[in-house]
A and B are shown apart, each in its own frame.
Chain A
């Protein structure tokens, strides 16, 4: 190697700089997103040492829309259509907690039938959302049947919601004071028939996906989020329940008619990506039971919407209400100064809170496990950015 050293010293004489290899050169920085179809308008920067992730830096905000600021310029009713934009696949749930908070501020009483209808719409929407999430999780794992099936079955729920609300995806159905319209004729029968069909399909999902040894090997033991970490990081929804914490807002703080419904909080203790993928599935199944009870207990007739004044307003004050959405607790904190427009609105979303677990889970994992861990967090980038 004498030649080499000679050559180096020669070169240095001629003014060339030799940079010694440092430890940093081992690491490769990779930007996943922001337009990568898998990440969905969200970027995270990972540093890789070989195949292992040693650093992860989530960078949300690519689709920030200023929803909170926008609410300050619109009255309580006009806010509905734009507030559902952050998560259009779950648009009934995101306006649900908003309506609850506005009702608390303005002191509007929702008629009983209206409460049932909006709980039904919210459960149907939960199915739509979770099926969409599952479809993407399927394709993340390269399981294209699991993309096709949920997307197809989701269509049936969308048809059902279309009959109920008049829109396929952005329903604008919940409104302070109840729901926009009563259920159409024959809705109950149609809904029940579909739930029966759907429960059969869920069994097939389990056979082809959740009990599929390949999926099991891919997801089991990957990305462990212990109970303590889950609580410390403040995750919510299915991610929290997959870590062994049986916490569901529908049970913990029942809103509307949920305290009359008998259902179990679905949770698992393995705390891995499989558990996080399986808990939403269990939720869908539980949601079918909830839907049956809601349809059964719904009063046959009655008002569905309280009559509002033209520009509903209440005394100055504040309200915080939350609901269990497809991604966990979804809360609205609204301050009113007595005018028909809110003074300040803060939206607390499940997606953002679950994202905080991402660096924790990815550091130490293999790059190939990234999709498995990332999408199992039940994360919706647009909702996190608001």
Chain B
């Protein structure tokens, strides 16, 4: 089973015509040395090329827009990062649709009482999100019919206790400050991150 069958070169074929660089030649003694040299060459070239490692947290990526949003009128989302949510208290009616959606996903949303008085929110309940459970799918945003719940670019939610992962409606209302400005630059020399 393990005996070498290198005598038969790998023949590869495609339904039309073979692409130029294959079948790659099998290793005969003559091509072995050439193969090693080529392999070493292609690796050592990279000693001179700038690495594209992102130096997080000194550098942070720039995202499109201010986070994932949803337009219920057109029933389509707006591209953006699905990070921590943002809740607009002046729009939320306490209809619980977000919580009902999340029930079948992660059970991350609970409706809690708020002290505020809003005409459009008689029951005075608003969503509270447990980021220990949330999977950032954004389907609660899709479910909200009143433009009250969107997502933001804030993804640094680590905390020392589980309790701190539960965001109350008041915490959710705060607009995060995100200052990522690094973009990937791809040119002839390769890829790199540019601030």
Chain A contacts to B: CB under 8 angstroms: 73-75, 77-78, 80-82, 145, 152, 155-156, 159, 162-167, 170, 172, 180-185, 193-194, 196-197, 203-204, 206-213, 216-217, 220-224, 246, 264-270, 272, 274-275, 278, 282, 285, 303-305, 307-308, 364-366, 369
Q: What is the minimal beta-carbon distance from B18 to any residue of chain A, in angstroms?
A: 9
B41 at the interface (CB under 8 A from A): yes
B176 at the interface (CB under 8 A from A): no
Selecting from B116-124, B133-141, B166-174, the interface stretch reads B133-141
Residue of A nearest to B52 (CB): A152
Q: Is the CB of B139 within 8 A of A166?
A: no
Q: What is the minimal beta-carbon distance from A174 to any residue of chain B, in angstroms?
A: 12
Q: Is the CB of B39 within 8 A of A166?
A: no
Q: Is the CB of B2 within 8 A of A162?
A: no
The residues of B that contact A366 with a CB separation of less than 8 Å are 1-2
- Given A194, A208, A216, A365, which contacts B186 in the complex, CB threshold below 8 Å? A194
Q: Is the CB of B12 within 8 A of A275?
A: yes
- Given A180, A282, A308, which contacts B138 in the complex, CB threshold below 8 Å? A180
Residue of B nearest to A265 (CB): B15
Residue of B nearest to A152 (CB): B52
Q: What is the minimal beta-carbon distance from A52 to any residue of chain B, in angstroms?
A: 8
The residues of B that contact A75 with a CB separation of less than 8 Å are 104
Q: Is the CB of B4 within 8 A of A221?
A: yes
Residue from A181, A264, A364 having most chain B Cβ neighbours under 10 A: A181
B26 at the interface (CB under 8 A from A): yes
**Considering only CB atoms and an 8 Å cut-off, how many residues of chain B contact the other chain?**
62
The 29 sampled A-B contact pairs (Cβ below 8 Å) are: A73-B104, A81-B137, A164-B79, A166-B77, A166-B80, A170-B136, A182-B79, A184-B65, A207-B38, A208-B39, A208-B42, A211-B35, A211-B39, A212-B35, A216-B35, A217-B4, A217-B6, A220-B4, A221-B6, A264-B15, A264-B16, A265-B14, A267-B14, A268-B11, A269-B11, A270-B10, A275-B12, A278-B12, A369-B2
The residues of B that contact A209 with a CB separation of less than 8 Å are 39
Residue of B nearest to A365 (CB): B1
The residues of B that contact A197 with a CB separation of less than 8 Å are 186, 190-191
Beyond A152-B52, A197-B186, A270-B10, whether A78 also contacts B3 by CB under 8 A is no
Residue from A74, A78, A194, A206 having most chain B Cβ neighbours under 10 A: A78
The residues of B that contact A217 with a CB separation of less than 8 Å are 4, 6, 27
Q: What is the minimal beta-carbon distance from B123 to any residue of chain A, in angstroms?
A: 21
Q: Is the CB of A285 within 8 A of B19?
A: yes
B57 at the interface (CB under 8 A from A): no
Beyond A210-B24, A213-B35, whether A166 also contacts B138 by CB under 8 A is yes
Chain B contacts to A: CB under 8 angstroms: 1-6, 8, 10-16, 19, 21-22, 24-27, 31-32, 35-36, 38-39, 41-43, 45, 52-53, 61, 63-65, 67-68, 75-82, 101, 104-106, 135-139, 142, 151, 184, 186, 190-191
The residues of A that contact B191 with a CB separation of less than 8 Å are 156, 197
Beyond A80-B137, A145-B43, A221-B3, whether A163 also contacts B79 by CB under 8 A is yes
Q: Is the CB of B75 within 8 A of A269?
A: no
Q: Is the CB of B76 within 8 A of A304?
A: yes
Q: Is the CB of A212 within 8 A of B139?
A: no
Residue from B24, B25, B64 having most chain A Cβ neighbours under 10 A: B64
Q: Is the CB of B76 within 8 A of A303?
A: yes
Q: Is the CB of A216 within 8 A of B2?
A: no
Q: What is the minimal beta-carbon distance from B12 to any residue of chain A, in angstroms?
A: 4
Residue of A nearest to B77 (CB): A181
Q: Is the CB of A180 within 8 A of B142?
A: yes
A246 and B13 CA atoms in complex are apart in Å by: 9
- Given B22, B26, B139, which contacts A78 in the complex, CB threshold below 8 Å? B139
Q: Is the CB of B81 within 8 A of A162?
A: yes
A161 and B191 CA atoms in complex are apart in Å by: 17
Counting from the closest, the 8 A-B pairs by CB-CB distance are: A181-B77, A221-B5, A78-B104, A364-B1, A207-B42, A268-B12, A166-B82, A184-B79
The residues of B that contact A81 with a CB separation of less than 8 Å are 105-106, 135, 137, 139
